[in-house]
Amino acid sequence: MKKIALITSGGDSPGMNACIRAVVKTCLHYSIVPFGIYDGFQGMIDRKGYEMEYTDVDNIIHRGGTILGTARCKEFMELEGRLKAIDYLKSENIDGLVVIGGDGSFTGAYHLGQEMNIPIIGIPGTIDNDIYGTDHTIGYDTALNTVTEAVDKIRDTAASHHRIFFIEVMGRDAGFIALNSAISSGAENVLIPEKHMDIEKLVRDIKAQNKGRRGSIIMVAEGDEWGGALELMEKVKPFLPDYDLRCSVLGHIQRGGSPSALDRIIATRMGSFAIELLKEGKTNLMIGTEGEHLVTCSIEQGIKENSIPDLKKIKLLAKLRTK
Ligand code: F6P
């Protein structure tokens, strides 16, 4: 291994910079040239790489976003686009590639792995936590903390005005952020794509909870079956004429900000481990966490198997709900 390329791809997530730093510093430790490519797979097609130095990654461990930039690249879904990227990697004499991103990025990495003989290691970076083979993806913990802080603030208004708040969080088709932030923020109910929720039951729960005019918080995953928080609120409104309902969509604030300690630690360990794996001659692997340990599975398994949140947590919320 003389030269290793690195991209961040898909939605940015807090901790990506900590991961870039670890990849670059571990490469330099072994006298390998780290080759950062801007804007993910699009940057590979557009030939936007540069040799990175220690100074490129100074003072970035605490910064959100990604200094390499990122993109969602349609051209890469076609063989023609991928062939342009392979041509670029070959022209730069790249011996290994590290891809930090979510499931879309891993799908790209998987195809690339079938079409070229440059070893690839995937590192899961997405706030959604929806990737098989890892307990945590980089950015998920920070997003959970951001949501929890935001809901704490909304709760002040909910309690003061005795309002019912429907709060929509990100996660695409997965309910990890909604379910776990529901627990961390003491929400009264949660709607996630992985579990059907009966509207009549939800209305009954809200009425029971609000007998003492308390106000309540309902967390709604953006991918839930009713189409998100606003749609859900409109759906239940006719059944709750005497209640003051509000909706709040948290949006992209969930993706930004300084990474939590946990995200920095996971990102740093994964970034450095990726270089060790490439040095050992490993390829087409995705790194994950299992408890305290770093583990690997094939990138193919990572994209083909489903990852779903622990649905027992919904029962926990029900147990804690005021009757
Ligand atoms: O995958 C991360 C994510 O933030 C999802 O939670 C969300 O559905 C999507 O990206 C939003 O994408 P964009 O930033 O392209 O609107």
The beta strand positions in the chain, using DSSP E, are 3-8, 33-37, 49-51, 96-101, 120-124, 163-169, 189-191, 216-221, 244-249, 285-290, 293-298
208, two tokens: 């029971």
What is the structure's pLDDT at 177?
A: 98
Write down which residue in 197, 223, 255 finishes a domain. Answer: 255
Cα 21-266-92 angle, rounded to 5 deg: 40
Ligand 1 mean position, distance from CA 282 (Å): 31
Write down which residue in 225, 255, 285 finishes a domain. Answer: 255
Question: Shortest CA distance to 40 belongs to which of 69, 17, 12?
Answer: 69
Ligand 1 atom nearest the C-alpha of 128 is: 6
Rounded Cα distance, 302 and 307, in Å: 9
Tell me, what CATH number does 220's domain have?
3.40.50.460
Question: Is residue 310, in this structure, part of any structural domain at all?
Answer: no
Ligand 1 mean position, distance from CA 141 (Å): 16
Give the global pTM: 0.97
Q: Are both 151 and 242 inside the same structural domain?
A: yes
Q: Are both 12 and 112 inside the same structural domain?
A: yes
Tell me, what CATH number does 66's domain have?
3.40.50.450
What is the distance between the terminal CA atoms of the chain, rounded to a whole angstrom? 62
Q: Are both 118 and 240 inside the same structural domain?
A: no
Question: Is residue 41, in this structure, part of any structural domain at all?
Answer: yes
Q: Are both 97 and 177 inside the same structural domain?
A: no
Q: Are both 129 and 152 inside the same structural domain?
A: no
How far, CA to CA in Å, does 291 sit from each of 77, 100, 266, 295, 299?
34, 21, 11, 10, 20
Walking along the chain (323 residues) 10 residues at a time, the average pLDDT comes out as 97 98 98 98 98 98 98 93 97 98 96 96 98 98 98 96 97 98 97 96 91 87 97 97 96 98 98 98 98 98 96 94 81
DSSP 182: H
In which order are the strands placed within the sheet that holds 49-51?
49-51, 33-37, 3-8, 96-101, 120-124, 285-290, 293-298
Q: Are both 35 and 95 inside the same structural domain?
A: yes
Q: Number of folded domains in the chain? A: 2
What is the structure's pLDDT at 210?
A: 83
Ligand 1 mean position, distance from CA 281 (Å): 33
* Dihedral (Cα; 99, 71, 252, 223), 10-degree rounding: -80
Rounded Cα distance, 62 and 121, in Å: 24
Q: Are both 64 and 118 inside the same structural domain?
A: yes
Rounded Cα distance, 160 and 156, in Å: 6
Q: Are both 44 and 114 inside the same structural domain?
A: yes
Nearest CA to ligand 1 atom 13: 11
Question: Is residue 271, in this structure, part of any structural domain at all?
Answer: yes
Question: Is residue 318, in this structure, part of any structural domain at all?
Answer: no
Rounded Cα distance, 260 and 226, in Å: 32
Nearest CA to ligand 1 atom 1: 11
Q: What is the domain range of residue 247?
A: 142-255
Q: Are both 282 and 236 inside the same structural domain?
A: no
Ligand 1 mean position, distance from CA 323 (Å): 36
Q: Are both 211 and 121 inside the same structural domain?
A: no
200, two tokens: 């009549």
Ligand 1 atom nearest the C-alpha of 254 is: 4
Question: Is residue 323, in this structure, part of any structural domain at all?
Answer: no
Ligand 1 mean position, distance from CA 286 (Å): 21
Question: Is residue 312, in this structure, part of any structural domain at all?
Answer: no
What is the structure's pLDDT at 209?
A: 87
Widest Cα–Cα separation across the chain? 69
Ligand 1 contacts (CB < 6 A) are: 11, 102, 126-128, 170-172, 222, 255
**Active-site residue, 198 included:** no
Q: Are both 30 and 124 inside the same structural domain?
A: yes
How many Cβ atoms from other residues are within 10 Å of residue 122's Cβ?
34
What is the structure's pLDDT at 299?
A: 98
From the candidates 128, 130, 205, 224, give the one annotated as an active-site residue: 128
Rounded Cα distance, 40 and 122, in Å: 13
Asked if 246 and 166 touch (Cβ cutoff 8 Å), the reply is yes
Which residues lie below 8 Å from residue 296, measured CB to CB, with a gap of 6+? 133, 277, 282, 285, 286, 287, 288
Question: Is residue 228, in this structure, part of any structural domain at all?
Answer: yes
Q: Which of 70, 73, 127, 138 to mutate to test the pocket of ligand 1 (most atoms within 8 A of CB)?
A: 127
Question: Is residue 299, in this structure, part of any structural domain at all?
Answer: yes
What is the structure's pLDDT at 322?
A: 80
Q: Which of 128, 142, 181 to mutate to test the pocket of ligand 1 (most atoms within 8 A of CB)?
A: 128
Q: Exposure of 296 by Cβ count < 10 A (0-12 exposed, 13-18 middle, 19+ buried)? A: buried
Ligand 1 atom nearest the C-alpha of 72 is: 15
Rounded Cα distance, 100 and 15, in Å: 10
Q: Are both 121 and 268 inside the same structural domain?
A: yes
